[in-house]
Chains A and B, each alone.
Chain A
């Protein structure tokens, strides 16, 4: 799926975007919100399935295909993924191709920033993180995807060493807060809340786009 910055605009009337963000589908909503705050026509977004986090072996081949397509279409690809379980293979590929990636091992780290993430882990190693995306899709991803809805006793296997849910919120949304509380209760874990906004993603994209803006205008 590729999403243009302004879906309502006639594509013929705008300059060709120069950056193509290749991202995890779990970040689509947040990245679109950031892109909408950037100068016009700097970047567009294409996503790979969020469910691939359970199949990290699919991530690098999927990104390779997206990179190839982006370059063929004249874009500069930028990857908005953590290592995400690829065991360094993603960075090996990106380094060889000279493609930028947001620093950090996973999206929790990028939303919170290194210092806050490390502090959260120091506070409680058994922390189960929920982002806005995960709260919205908790039933599908966690309860059904992990088999907990059909086999509730698996909870004690999956979460034996977890102590708390930490909802790292990208938006200030009372409905999501309540859903996150319910998720923690369902998992029989304590609940904590930490507002992150869009974290490191905003600065990363601002920086990338501001550096490229002059060439965009002439393309």
Chain B
């Protein structure tokens, strides 16, 4: 028998359910998120609506509270895990229903660095925001980035590093792009705990993204600006 205070998700109306899913995401409740996603889909919500209104909006709240020091890494990871579980259901449906695509990004952690928590959060949030994300994983030498750019022709190249000792490798990649004459074909975003705006500028990146939410906003703005420029140029 259900506990007296237990919330039955299926009994909530749409607005209440979405609000509850934001709370559940905040609390990292994976099973509840999966259940909520299924309920909304049963109610004929499009996968895109479920993704954006229930998951991405909820995760954005998590991101803001992380930035403000209210939540810490373990809580963010729990929330991300819950969102990931929802994405497992939505991803094939999104592909099937042709959700709006904003752009594409190749992303990877640089050579010598095996840390990918931040990168994975960025990948997930970008995917949620309508980006096609090609994730190269960890410990990527310059060749991996160049090969992926050649193969996928993304709008954006994203590089991540957690270590002071590995972050200079980002310049190796940008310099290689300059040498090949392809630097201006891509937006280059960088991120990672020890980075800052001055470092991003020094390696020749277009922007430093301090967290996943900033990465999504920056990616959207820069793609729009690029398209505006291209349109103006005819």
Contact = CB atoms under 8 A, between A and B. Distances in A.
Interface of A: 54, 56, 82-89, 105-106, 121, 125-126, 146-148, 150-151, 153-154, 157-158, 160-162
Contacts, number: 61
Contact of B195 (A87, A121, A146, A148): A87
A151 B78 CA distance: 8
Interface in B160-210: 163-165, 167, 193-196, 198-199
Given A89-B196, A151-B74, A154-B77, A82 B164 contact: yes
Nearest 3 A-B pairs (CB), nearest first?
A: A147-B74, A161-B114, A87-B194
Contacts of A154: 74, 77-78
Contacts of B12: none
Given A56-B194, A86-B194, A87-B199, 13 more contacts: A83-B194, A85-B194, A87-B164, A88-B198, A146-B73, A147-B74, A147-B78, A150-B74, A151-B77, A154-B78, A158-B117, A160-B116, A161-B116
A125 B112 contact: yes
Interface residues of B, number: 25
A105 B73 contact: no
Contacts of A83: 164, 194
A161 to B, nearest CB: 4
A162 B28 CA distance: 24
B139 interface: yes
Interface string B70-104: 00111101100100000000000000000000000
A30 to B, nearest CB: 21
Contacts of A84: 164
A83 B72 CA distance: 23
B138 interface: yes
Contacts of B165: 105-106
A107 B198 CA distance: 25
A88 B199 CA distance: 8
A38 to B, nearest CB: 29
B77 A157 contact: yes
Contacts of B195: 87
A153 B139 CA distance: 24
Contacts of A56: 193-194
A151 B74 CA distance: 8
A125 B166 CA distance: 12
Contact of A87 (B78, B115, B196): B196
A54 B72 CA distance: 10
B193 A85 contact: yes
Given A85-B193, A87-B196, A162 B164 contact: no
Contacts of A82: 164
B116 A106 contact: no
A109 to B, nearest CB: 8
A108 to B, nearest CB: 10
A56 B167 CA distance: 15
Contacts of A54: 73
A105 B164 contact: yes
A85 B74 contact: no
A10 B3 CA distance: 66
A56 B115 CA distance: 17
A125 B196 contact: no
Nearest to B192: A87
A106 B164 contact: yes
Contact of B81 (A85, A157, A160, A162): A157
A121 B117 CA distance: 20
Nearest to A150: B74
A146 B74 contact: yes
A23 B84 CA distance: 40
Nearest to B112: A125
B114 to A, nearest CB: 4
Nearest to A92: B198
Contacts of A106: 164-165
